[in-house]
């Protein structure tokens, strides 16, 4: 039996900027649970700051604490979602046990991190390998990267994207007719694949992305979380076409004044929340230092955040 939220329940989210932790904020918004965000900035290396290791030995995000659990830290996105739904979901955002939708739900809950992120991570590594190798061995590194991409990365990524497209062609959400936590779980790999592997060229995937990005809870989570790498997927659309966010309505939450849509994705309000960990000026790193480190390849901006695979 799910516990009823009481007034003293407070979930603390240890949230690394530009990360899959964004999904936990989104889930908490969908559930309407009280939560506080402890934000962590990435180091110039793009890894998490050591402060996260003081919270959990692996030092990764997301991590949560529940005020009812006396200091116990819960790690791993899927486990956190499972905990929050079991404790506070009251049957929301998951199909009933024993149904076929539940089978699909369980599959996607595991596949998001267990299968889909692997080729995306490999793509990141093979894309970055040549430029991050000592210049003497770059041609060799580039050859190895190309071979790995051809043999492993591209075929697997293509198969994943096709599976998502086929699934979303048959049903509006990953686990059937209703929006569930499986959609939240899948948002990160799908956004990553849209950003770096062209997944948004698939019509059903694109429609699903547009729909999740219109959800009010998704937008509120962006405001709470601060910068999020994949906000570029909808920010540019909004800049050029506010109407895109107003179509749909209904449960997907279209409507609202244009300025109320999707704001927050690129803002970092230093005053609204404490920032934990060192605070290197990532922007300076991106715009001034990085281009000088890689003079032949002035890749700045979202690309460098691809460390978040
Ligand atoms: N499978 C884990 C992955 C956690 C993970 O790798 N998180 C990334 C954020 S996208 C991270 O903390 N990266 C920083 C680092 O590795 O130092 C989960 O879903 O919770």
Rounded CA separation 210/187 (Å): 11
Measured by CA distance, the residue closest to atom 16 of ligand 1 is: 47
* pTM, two decimal places: 0.79
Rounded CA separation 230/207 (Å): 16
- For 230-277, what is each residue's pLDDT tens digit? 987 876 554 544 333 322 222 222 222 222 222 223 223 333 333 433
Q: C-alpha 148: how far from its chain's center?
A: 25
Q: Which atom of ligand 1 is nearest to the CA of 80?
A: 20
Report, as ranges of residue numbers, the positions in the chain whose pLDDT lies below 50: 238, 240-307
Give residue for tokens 């922007």. Answer: 283
- CA-nearest of 309, 43, 106 to 191 is 309
pLDDT at site 299: 40
Backbone angles phi, psi at 302, to 5 degrees: -60, -30
CB distance 36 to 276 below 8 Å: no
pLDDT at site 291: 44
Q: How far is CA 262 from CA 186, 210, 258, 272, in A?
A: 20, 11, 9, 18
CA–centroid distance, 52 to ligand 1, in Å, is: 11
Set out the domains of the chain in order of their start, with CATH numbers. Answer: 11-88 (3.40.30.10), 100-252 (1.20.1050.10)
**Can you spell out the DSSP letters for 7-31?**
TT--EEEEEESSSTTHHHHHHHHHH
pLDDT at site 302: 36
Rounded CA separation 80/74 (Å): 6
Report which secondary-structure segment, H or E, holds 108.
helix 100-111
pLDDT at site 59: 97
CA–centroid distance, 22 to ligand 1, in Å, is: 11
Does ligand 1 lie within 6 Å of residue 309's CB atom?
no
pLDDT at site 82: 98
């Amino acid at each position: 039996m799910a516990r009823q939220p009481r007034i003293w329940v407070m979930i603390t989210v240890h949230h690394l900027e530009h990360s899959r932790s964004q999904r936990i904020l989104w889930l908490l918004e969908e559930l309407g649970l009280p939560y506080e965000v402890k934000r962590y900035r990435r180091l110039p290396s793009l890894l998490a700051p050591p402060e996260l290791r003081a919270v959990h030995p692996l030092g990764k995000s997301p991590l949560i604490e529940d005020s009812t659990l006396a200091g116990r830290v819960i790690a791993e996105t899927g486990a956190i979602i499972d905990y929050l739904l079991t404790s506070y979901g009251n049957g929301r955002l998951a199909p009933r046990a024993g149904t076929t939708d539940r089978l699909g739900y369980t599959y996607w809950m595991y596949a998001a991190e267990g299968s889909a992120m692997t080729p995306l991570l490999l793509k990141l590594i093979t894309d970055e390998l040549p430029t991050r190798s000592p210049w003497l061995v770059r041609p060799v590194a580039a050859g190895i990267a190309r071979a790995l991409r051809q043999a492993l990365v591209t075929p697997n990524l293509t198969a994943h994207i096709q599976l998502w497209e086929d699934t979303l062609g048959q049903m509006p959400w990953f686990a059937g007719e209703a929006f569930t936590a499986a959609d939240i779980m899948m948002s990160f790999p799908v956004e990553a694949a849209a950003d770096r592997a062209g997944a948004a060229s698939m019509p059903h995937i694109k429609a699903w992305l547009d729909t999740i990005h219109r959800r009010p809870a998704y937008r509120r989570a962006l405001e709470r979380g601060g910068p999020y790498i994949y906000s570029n997927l909808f920010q540019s659309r909004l800049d050029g076409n506010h109407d895109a966010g107003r179509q749909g309505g209904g449960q997907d939450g279209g409507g609202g004044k244009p300025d109320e849509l999707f704001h927050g994705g690129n803002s970092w309000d230093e005053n609204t929340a404490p920032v934990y960990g060192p605070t290197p000026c990532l922007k300076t790193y991106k715009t001034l230092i990085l281009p000088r480190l890689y003079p032949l390849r002035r890749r700045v901006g979202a690309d460098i955040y691809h460390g978040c695979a």
